């Protein structure tokens, strides 16, 4: 939730979870379908950017604590 800043359902399906009240009529589905595809593609880009930022942030936290390993012959 905090990394992508949206609910998992919305990230997976590209739309908000709706109750039965918000469902579309049968005739409207064809017109709305292309719009939903474009919205889902845009959401996917946003999610990928936010995941990349979260991974970078986590990597920076890890890199601070990481140190170079040194071995000697008799170890």
Domain spans, the chain = 8-54
pTM above 0.85, yes or no: no
User: pLDDT by residue for the chain (75 residues), tens digit each?
Assistant: 567 777 777 777 777 766 544 455 555 555 566 777 778 788 888 888 998 999 999 999 888 888 888 888 875
Token reading at 18: 């709706």
* C-alpha torsion 53→8→41→44, nearest 10: 20
Whole-angstrom distance, CA of residue 47 vs CA of residue 69:
35
Contact 2, 35 (CB under 8 A): no
């Amino acid at each position: 939730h905090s990394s992508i800043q949206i609910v998992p359902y919305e990230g997976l399906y590209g739309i908000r979870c709706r109750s039965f009240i918000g469902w579309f009529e049968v005739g409207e589905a064809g017109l709305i379908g292309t719009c939903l595809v474009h919205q889902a593609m845009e959401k996917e880009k946003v999610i990928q950017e936010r995941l990349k930022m979260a991974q970078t942030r986590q990597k920076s936290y890890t890199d601070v604590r990481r140190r170079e390993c040194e071995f000697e012959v008799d170890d």
